[in-house]
Amino acid sequence: MTAPRPQGWVQFGESWCLWWNGRQIANVQPGADGITVILACRKLWQEKRVSAASVNQGKRYAERWCAARILEGVPLRQAVQQLTAKDDEPPPPKRSATQLQQERRLSEALKLPGER
């Protein structure tokens, strides 16, 4: 089985990482110099570093900056929602015919004698 790919904001210790399409595109981390925002969604070898007053401000800046570059042509508010949306929970695994039969037999066995 494979682990689910992260999507949206994920916290690792004190830093927050923005994941999209299976890769980390932004990182907001506190440090001795204040809050640093690392934006890595331009090209693989390029990243942009900016400072922020707070973690929340850094997250908002990263969301808008990355959304404008990744989802071009989409209105900014909608692009940010798509970028930060968590994936829906995967559906529960389907039960086999044997499991369904065992559940039916168990429920029949647990019924009181007068019930049908």
**Span 60-101, pLDDT tens digits:** 999 999 999 888 889 999 999 998 887 655 556 677 888 888
Residue 116 confidence (pLDDT): 61
Q: Which of 43, 44, 35 is nearest to 16 (CA)?
A: 35
Enter the pTM of the model: 0.68
Within-domain flag for 30: yes
Whole-angstrom Cα distance, residue 111 to residue 52? Answer: 63
Domain count, the chain: 1
Q: Which domain holds residue 71?
A: 8-110
Q: What local confidence, expressed as pLDDT, does residue 3 receive? A: 72
Is position 1 within any domain?
no
Among 43, 47, 39, 44, CA closest to 67: 39
Mean pLDDT of the chain: 85
pLDDT at residue 80, as a whole number:
92
Residue 2 in domain: no
